[in-house]
């Protein structure tokens, strides 16, 4: 009889191979845990027109590869639409104010823009709109109606050049209403950030709840310059009052009891420029500071937000920002990072 004997060492080899695979899996699990532990979830909230989306664009410019060619072409389409729509809104406001064009040609210029169509992704701006926009911009009634100068119109010839592509500042100043949820990933120091931006208009807010779980930092953005302005979706509602009500309702949600709360009081440049012309006391009668005292005015609104915090052991960290100022926002984000790290030392593996 012939007996088949097992090969010597085969079971030992199998055990060592199994141990190697187990060690690899353990190593992968530890690495994934470390990566996950260094992920920071930031939720960017605020009412419409607060500047949230501009802040998200800044994060891409500062901490990622920015905006590639195809996206800049898409932004070019948005900018042309922004300019045409702005003139249509000005025309409506003029009629509300009972103003007529001072230039006899302006009615013809308005008609050109009323029928202007959206441009394609590879199209330059149509030249017939250039002369129409320039003509309307010079009309005295148009200048009386607009609240401030617009950078796009002040550089209008550059925008209508055949090879025009939006600069970083053009990208920041373009306006496209946010719908749904936008996530931006970027790294700052040893941390990897997931920043979520959701539409700020009332109709978009029901989508926010899907982003609430596991948030390390709530970054709420309010427009300081909105103290005298109404909502796009509700002409009877004050932007600042809306921001205050929204902030209070968010602070009371269970999801944010352990989250860092960062408040960006945004659009400081516009806020400073309008104080003399639009006294805060006309809209908020309890304001007691000087009409043109910027420091007192911004602190007045900061205190209004802070008073909405009912939790004694939770601090509201306030920053005054201009979302279009890249250098200022870079400095601000490093301060925000310090706050997040200090509040989550036991969570992050640094």
- Residues with catalytic roles: 49, 54, 175, 197, 201
Which is it for strands 217-223 and 260-266: parallel, antiparallel or unpaired? parallel
Dihedral of alpha carbons 285, 287, 289, 293, sign: negative
Cross-strand partners of 230: 238
Phi, psi of 274, rounded to the nearest 5 degrees: -100, -5
With beta carbons less than 8 A apart as the criterion, state whether 170 and 66 touch.
no
With beta carbons less than 8 A apart as the criterion, state whether 275 and 291 touch.
yes
In a 13 Å sphere around the CA of 157, the CA atoms on its Cβ side amount to: 0
Among candidate residues 223, 205, 206, 188, the one with its CA nearest the CA of residue 331: 188
Q: Please, which residues have CB within 8 angstroms of residue 312's CB and are 6 or more apart in sequence? A: none
With beta carbons less than 8 A apart as the criterion, state whether 291 and 333 touch.
no
Helix or strand (DSSP H, E) at 107? helix 106-114
Q: How far apart are the first and last CA of the chain?
A: 67
> Mind giving me the DSSP string for 142-155?
HHHH-SS--HHHHT
Distance, in Å, from the CA atom of 19 to the CA atom of 285, rounded to the nearest integer, reads 74
Phi, psi of 177, rounded to the nearest 5 degrees: -55, 130
């Amino acid at each position: 009889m012939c007996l088949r004997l097992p090969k010597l060492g085969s079971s030992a080899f199998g055990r060592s191979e199994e141990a190697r695979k187990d060690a690899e899996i353990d190593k992968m699990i530890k690495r994934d845990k470390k990566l996950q532990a260094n992920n920071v979830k930031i939720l960017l909230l605020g009412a419409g027109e607060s500047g949230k989306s501009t802040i998200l664009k800044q994060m891409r410019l500062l901490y990622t590869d920015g905006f590639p060619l195809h996206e800049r072409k898409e932004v070019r389409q948005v900018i042309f639409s922004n300019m045409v729509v702005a003139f249509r809104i000005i025309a409506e406001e003029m009629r509300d104010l009972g103003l007529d064009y001072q230039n006899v040609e302006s009615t013809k210029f308005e008609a050109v823009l009323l029928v202007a169509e959206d441009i394609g992704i590879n199209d330059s701006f149509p030249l017939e709109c250039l002369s129409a926009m320039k003509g309307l911009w010079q009309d005295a009634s148009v200048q009386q109606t607009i609240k401030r100068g617009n950078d796009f119109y002040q550089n209008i010839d550059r925008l209508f050049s055949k090879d025009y592509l939006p600069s970083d500042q053009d990208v920041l100043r373009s306006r496209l209403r946010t719908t749904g949820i936008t996530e931006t990933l970027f790294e700052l120091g040893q941390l990897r950030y997931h920043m979520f931006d959701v539409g700020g208009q009332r109709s978009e807010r029901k989508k926010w709840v899907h982003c609430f779980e596991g948030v390390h930092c709530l970054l709420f953005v309010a427009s300081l310059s909105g103290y005298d302005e109404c909502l796009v979706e509700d002409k009877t509602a004050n932007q600042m009052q809306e921001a205050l009500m929204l902030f209070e309702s968010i602070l009371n949600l269970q999801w944010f009891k352990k989250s860092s709360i960062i408040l960006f009081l945004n659009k400081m440049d516009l806020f400073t420029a309008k104080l003399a012309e639009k006294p805060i006391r006309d809209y908020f009668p309890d304001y007691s500071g000087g009409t043109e005292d910027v420091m007192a005015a911004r602190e007045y609104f900061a205190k209004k937000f802070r008073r909405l915090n009912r939790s004694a052991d939770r601090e509201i960290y306030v920053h005054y920002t201009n979302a279009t100022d890249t250098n200022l926002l870079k400095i601000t984000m490093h301060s925000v990072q310090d706050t997040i790290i200090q509040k989550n030392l036991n969570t992050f593996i640094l």
